[in-house]
């Protein structure tokens, strides 16, 4: 980013220096978003993963009071455009950081470990057997449906159990992610950058697994809803 | 300077409201008919004059081919989208205008935003009359589930009506605002808004913060083509079929009879919200009479599938908000269709608690809009509305897949940026197709816009252009592009897939001078006199019938007195007095009118019986 340092930034309205403030300290006018500001910075949060949900929400609401376009309806076109940009960025930041999984994804993308929207659809090795059985059950259900569901009860029961099992696995994955997030935070705080990188890579693996399991659960749930 | 107003531009009725500067409370403006509802009906006189509201509604019976209602259903839609509407509503449209529907009124064609602008002008003139000052700024409400094109069409209508549209506010959010002020409630609120043409469900969280109250929408869902209109259509189908079965007569061939029938089934629907049974009566063109008792339970069986269609969106909104029905603290009912007992029972059953309906469901949206107008215009900073976009925004990618950029239920404004590069050497442009919807494939989503992004001619993969998609606080899309090499902004001409271009709006604004507001009072006077003449003529005709001889002396005297009073009023230029005395004459002749109708029905039935034997 060409203008990483904000020292030279001055207010578009009064010409006084503004730093990275949303509002000019001298005249109070809303300022453009400084390029390179990341979502943690937008919410005034430290770049950490294990953040408290209510803290994030409080920051979001407090900043919304100041930046929402409703406050600028009677201002100049330029100020309205700036408020729109700032408020949109605030909402984007909140949407991205409010839950742990998308927070981790965001950091992984920033670190170049994961690409946006990426989710590998390979079967995690330890799930191979279960996934195989699940697919069999789903096929059984489909053929039972074609034959008027006469003996579908048993397979429906089996699918319910499988779904519950995968659901539990999801919870385990989330717990594990939470732990790794904490470890990453500590590693970053103590400057252990190599360890931090390792944690991120582990999290990336878990996210792939998680997205795979989630798709399975969604698929089974959709089939069971039909029944 | 007058305060900004709030306008509920409804499918069936429109209302205008503002916060009373003296009391600080929102109030609806009472129009010339003594209530705040302006029928959303527009009619074009043969002499080129536009008629809106109650007089236009009466013209549905006499000049259906020059009159249009429920035009909100056509807002922001193309010809291909409205085929279902065209089959069910007597809209006459120009078949040669695929991107924007053009409705024919007599020999002239109007777009839905133009027709809506006539309605907006009408209620605006009510407000100007009431306040004695110009009204030029407004908050206009839209169904929460309206897409980008429908919102743009509404904003265009506001502009065409000479209004600065301060904000488009979602109807359920406006209703929550009005309720929140009324009840000072906190917690999670579900707003179930079942109106004339649209259904919305919004789940909100009401938060008390240090700075004031926050109304935060957690999730919204709905159906922009589900409302009381569908219930009317169901009843209409029933009667139409029964008439066909008995007389082999297709009422559709008589637009006037069809409108009379529509009026009758709507009256029956209203009656069944209060009573357990009602009778639908209709005189047919050949003098036969259709008379049918309809019980509430029969009515409920008929409309149950329509009411059930609201349940899917409710469940979806709850799921998106991550809540179970039992986690909702309050349920609020909005929209005229929530007067139907079956709807109330179903909502209560779903949420496990009785819904709130203390505020008039017709007025609550306009009241909330007035509050928001006041917040925006007067700079009141003690309330904050955080609304969401109802539909995901994305772009078409390789293979016709929709790539989601901003998910539904994101707080607005919201934005997303996407980096584009070229695949071919010295390519000068990239085609971008912006979509809205939840489906996987682009062709199943709503096309918002297509545009060609200009790129500098460079070897493949070298050009880097960043496009920023922003959904503003009105829920409307903006697109900006920036060349990452030069840092320069690149102009993007976004042609909406549906709706009007900027040039078309400019042209319409010029043309609208043709329909420049006629003096309000003068217009009211002309209409009141015309109406009075119609009633006087009808009275004279009735008095010539044999039944007139059977009238009691005092009844006859009352009629004569009412005729004399009305004639006197017509010599004045007081339209309110003329209206009042017209109503009085109508009242006085009611007994006589009933006798005449009875005779017509008896004769028709007698005739039928003779034929049948």
Task: Please report, for the domain that includes residue B553, its CATH number.
Answer: 1.20.1270.10
How far is the C-alpha of B325 from the C-alpha of B315, rounded, in Å?
8
Select from B119, B112, B117, B102 the least CA-distant residue to B40.
B119
Same domain, B83 and B179: yes
Asked whether residue B342 carries a pLDDT value surpassing 80, the answer given is yes
Tell me whether B410 touches chain A (CB under 8 Å). yes
How far is the C-alpha of B100 from the C-alpha of B75, rounded, in Å?
9
Structural domain that includes position B291: 228-306
pLDDT confidence tier of residue B516, bands split at 50, 70 and 90: low
Asked whether residue B15 carries a pLDDT value surpassing 80, the answer given is yes
Instruction: Determine whether the interchain pair B411/A84 forms a contact, defined as Cβ–Cβ distance below 8 Å.
Output: no
Given this model, what pLDDT does residue B399 score?
78
Q: Which of A142-151, B236-245, B307-316 has the lowest average pLDDT?
A: A142-151
Same domain, B534 and B585: yes
How far is the C-alpha of B159 from the C-alpha of B146, rounded, in Å?
18
B246 within a domain of the structure (yes/no): yes
Same domain, B64 and B35: yes
Same domain, B212 and B241: no
Instruction: Determine whether the interchain pair B167/A73 forms a contact, defined as Cβ–Cβ distance below 8 Å.
Output: yes
Q: Closest partner residue to B414 among A61, A88, A117, by Cβ? A: A88
Residues of A whose CB is below 8 A from B416:
92
Cα distance between the two ends of chain A: 54
Is residue B171 part of the annotated active site? The answer reads yes
Is residue B541 part of the annotated active site? The answer reads no
Average pLDDT over chain B reads 87
Domain ranges of chain A: 1-98, 125-226
Q: Read off the CATH number of the domain in which B271 is found.
A: 3.90.640.10
Confirm if A51 and A97 have CB atoms less than 8 A apart: yes
Interface of B with A in 368-397 (CB under 8 A): 375-377, 379, 381, 384-386
Cα distance between the two ends of chain B: 73
Q: Which residue has the higher pLDDT, B184 or B556?
A: B556
Most A CBs within 10 A among B168, B322, B402, B414, hence the mutation to make, goes to B414
Identify the closest residue of chain A to B138 by CA–CA distance.
A73
Same domain, B369 and B463: no
Confirm if B296 and B275 have CB atoms less than 8 A apart: yes
B323 within a domain of the structure (yes/no): no
Same domain, B537 and B607: yes
Same domain, B196 and B295: no
Residues of B whose CB is below 8 A from A118:
none
Confirm if B344 and B321 have CB atoms less than 8 A apart: no
Tell me whether B466 touches chain A (CB under 8 Å). no
Q: Which of A130-144, B284-298, B342-356, B575-589 has the lowest average pLDDT?
A: A130-144
Nearby residues of B492 by Cβ (< 8 Å), 6 or more positions away? B451, B453, B467, B479, B480, B481
Residues of A whose CB is below 8 A from B375:
70
Residues of B whose CB is below 8 A from A61:
207, 209, 214
B462 within a domain of the structure (yes/no): yes
How far is the C-alpha of B429 from the C-alpha of B457, rounded, in Å?
9
Q: Which of B193, B229, B362, B527 is catalytic?
A: B193
Instruction: Determine whether the interchain pair B209/A74 forms a contact, defined as Cβ–Cβ distance below 8 Å.
Output: no
Given this model, what pLDDT does residue B538 score?
85
Q: Read off the CATH number of the domain in which B40 is found.
A: 3.30.420.40
B153 within a domain of the structure (yes/no): yes
CB-facing half-sphere around the CA of B86: CA atoms within 13 A: 15
- For chain B, how many structural domains are there in total? 4
Same domain, B284 and B373: no
B315 within a domain of the structure (yes/no): no
Same domain, B463 and B536: no
What is the CATH superfamily name and number for domain A1-98? Answer: DnaJ domain (1.10.287.110)
Q: Closest partner residue to B376 among A61, A70, A89, by Cβ? A: A70
Paired strand residues for B26: B19
Is residue B94 part of the annotated active site? The answer reads no
Residues of B whose CB is below 8 A from A92:
414-416
How far is the C-alpha of B243 from the C-alpha of B290, rounded, in Å?
7
Is residue B72 part of the annotated active site? The answer reads yes
How far is the C-alpha of B257 from the C-alpha of B289, rounded, in Å?
12
Min Cα separation A71/chain B (Å): 7
How far is the C-alpha of A198 from the C-alpha of A183, rounded, in Å?
10
Tell me whether B209 touches chain A (CB under 8 Å). yes
pLDDT digits (tens, 9 = 90+) for B34-80: 899 999 999 998 888 899 998 898 888 888 889 999 899 899 888 88
Residues of B whose CB is below 8 A from A73:
166-167, 376-377
Among candidate residues B470, B489, B509, the one where a domain is terminated = B509
Main-chain phi, psi angles of A88, to 5 degrees: -65, -45
pLDDT digits (tens, 9 = 90+) for B391-448: 899 998 877 888 889 999 999 999 998 888 888 888 888 888 998 888 888 888 888 8
Same domain, B462 and B585: no
Tell me whether B412 touches chain A (CB under 8 Å). yes
Among candidate residues B362, B386, B410, the one where a domain is terminated = B386
Running along chain A, 227 residues long, what does each successive block of 10 average in pLDDT?
Answer: 53 84 86 83 92 93 92 90 93 94 92 69 73 80 73 78 85 93 93 90 89 82 73
Q: Read off the CATH number of the domain in which B497 is found.
A: 2.60.34.10
Tell me whether B487 touches chain A (CB under 8 Å). yes
Q: Which of B85, B122, B148, B171 is catalytic?
A: B171
B272 within a domain of the structure (yes/no): yes
- The size of the A-B interface in CB pairs under 8 A is 61
For B399-440, the DSSP string reads GGEEEEEE-TT-BSSEEEEEEE--SSTT--EEEEEEEESS-S
Distance of CA B174 to the CA centre of its chain: 15
B376 within a domain of the structure (yes/no): yes
Predicted model pTM: 0.82
- What single-letter DSSP state applies at residue A70? G
How far is the C-alpha of B92 from the C-alpha of B115, rounded, in Å?
14
Same domain, B145 and B177: yes
Most B CBs within 10 A among A91, A93, A115, hence the mutation to make, goes to A91
Given this model, what pLDDT does residue B609 score?
47
Q: Closest partner residue to A61 among B209, B407, B415, by Cβ? A: B209
Interface of B with A in 9-68 (CB under 8 A): none
């Amino acid at each position: 980013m060409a203008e990483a340092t904000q020292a030279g930034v001055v207010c578009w309205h009064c010409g006084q220096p503004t730093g990275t403030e949303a509002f000019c300290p001298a005249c109070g006018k809303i300022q453009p978003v400084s390029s390179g500001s990341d979502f943690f910075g937008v919410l005034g949060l430290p770049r950490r993963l294990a953040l408290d949900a209510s803290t994030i929400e409080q920051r979001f609401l407090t900043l919304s009071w100041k930046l929402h376009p409703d406050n600028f309806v009677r201002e100049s076109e330029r100020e309205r455009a700036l408020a729109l940009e700032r408020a949109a960025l605030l909402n984007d930041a909140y949407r991205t950081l409010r839950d742990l999984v998308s927070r981790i994804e965001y950091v992984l993308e920033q670190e170049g470990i994961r690409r946006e929207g990426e989710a590998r659809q390979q079967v995690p090795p330890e799930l191979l057997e279960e996934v195989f059985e699940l697919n069999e059950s789903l096929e059984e259900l489909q053929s039972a449906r074609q034959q008027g569901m006469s003996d579908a009860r048993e397979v429906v029961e089996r699918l319910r159990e499988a779904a519950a099992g995968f659901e539990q696995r999801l919870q385990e994955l989330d717990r594990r992610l939470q732990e790794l997030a904490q470890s990453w935070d500590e590693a970053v705080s103590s400057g252990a950058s190599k360890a931090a990188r390792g944690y991120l890579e582990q999290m990336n693996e878990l996210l792939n697994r998680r997205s795979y399991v989630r798709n399975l659960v969604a698929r089974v749930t959709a089939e069971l809803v039909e029944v | 300077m007058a305060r900004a107003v709030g306008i509920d531009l409804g499918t069936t009725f429109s209302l205008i409201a503002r916060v009373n500067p003296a009391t600080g409370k929102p109030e609806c403006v009472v129009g010339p008919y003594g209530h705040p509802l302006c029928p959303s009906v527009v009619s074009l006189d043969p002499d080129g004059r536009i008629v809106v509201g109650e007089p236009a509604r009466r013209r549905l019976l006499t000049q259906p081919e020059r009159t249009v209602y429920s035009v909100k259903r056509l807002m922001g839609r193309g010809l291909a989208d409205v085929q279902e509407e065209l089959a069910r509503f007597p809209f006459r449209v120009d078949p040669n205008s695929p991107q924007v529907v053009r409705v024919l009124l007599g020999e002239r064609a109007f777009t839905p935003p133009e027709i809506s602008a006539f309605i907006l002008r009408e209620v605006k003139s009510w407000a100007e009359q009431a306040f004695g000052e110009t009204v030029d700024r407004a908050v206009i409400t839209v169904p929460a589930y309206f897409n980008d094109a429908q919102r743009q069409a509404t904003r265009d209508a506001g502009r065409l009506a000479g209004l600065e549209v301060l904000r488009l506010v979602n109807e359920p959010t406006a209703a929550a605002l009005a309720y929140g002020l009324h009840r000072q409630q906190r917690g999670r609120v579900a707003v179930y808004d079942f109106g004339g043409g649209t259904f919305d469900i919004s789940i909100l969280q009401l938060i008390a913060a240090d700075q004031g109250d926050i109304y935060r929408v957690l999730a919204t869902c709905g159906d922009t083509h589900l409302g009381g209109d569908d219930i009317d259509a169901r009843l209409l189908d029933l009667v139409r079929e029964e008439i066909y079965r008995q007389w082999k007569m297709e009422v559709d061939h008589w637009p006037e009879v069809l409108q009379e029938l529509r009026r009758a089934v709507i009256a029956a629907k209203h009656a069944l919200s209060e009573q357990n049974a009602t009778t639908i009566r209709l005189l047919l063109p050949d003098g036969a009479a259709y008379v049918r008792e309809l019980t509430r339970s029969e009515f409920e069986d008929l409309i149950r599938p329509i009411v059930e269609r609201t349940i899917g969106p409710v469940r979806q909104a709850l799921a998106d908000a991550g809540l179970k029905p039992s986690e909702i603290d309050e349920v609020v009912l909005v929209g005229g269709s929530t007067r139907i007992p079956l709807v109330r029972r179903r909502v209560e059953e779903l949420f496990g608690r009785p819904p709130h309906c203390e505020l008039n469901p017709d007025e609550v949206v306009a009241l909330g809009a007035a509050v928001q107008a006041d917040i925006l215009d007067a700079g009141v900073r003690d309330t904050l509305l955080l609304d969401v976009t109802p539909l995901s925004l994305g772009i078409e990618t390789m293979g016709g897949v929709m790539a989601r950029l901003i998910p539904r239920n994101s707080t607005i404004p919201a934005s997303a940026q996407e980096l584009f590069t070229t695949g071919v050497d010295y390519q000068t442009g990239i085609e971008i197709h912006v979509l809205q919807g939840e489906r996987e494939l682009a062709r199943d989503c709503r096309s918002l816009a297509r545009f060609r992004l200009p790129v500098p001619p460079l070897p493949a993969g070298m050009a880097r252009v960043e496009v920023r998609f922003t959904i503003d606080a009105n829920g409307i899309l903006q697109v900006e592009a920036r060349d990452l090499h030069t840092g320069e902004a690149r102009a993007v001409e976004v042609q909406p897939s549906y709706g009007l271009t900027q040039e078309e709006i400019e042209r319409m604004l010029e043309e609208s001078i043709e329909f420049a507001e006629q003096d309000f009072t003068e217009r009211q006077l002309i209409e009141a006199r015309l109406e009075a003449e119609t009633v006087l003529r009808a009275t004279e005709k009735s008095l010539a019938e044999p039944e007139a001889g059977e009238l009691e002396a005092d009844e006859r005297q009352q009629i004569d007195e009412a005729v004399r009073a009305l004639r006197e009023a017509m010599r004045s230029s007081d339209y309110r007095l003329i209206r009042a005395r017209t109503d009085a004459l109508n009242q006085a002749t009611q007994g006589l009118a009933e006798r005449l109708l009875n005779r017509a029905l008896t004769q028709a039935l007698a005739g039928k019986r003779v034929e049948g034997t």
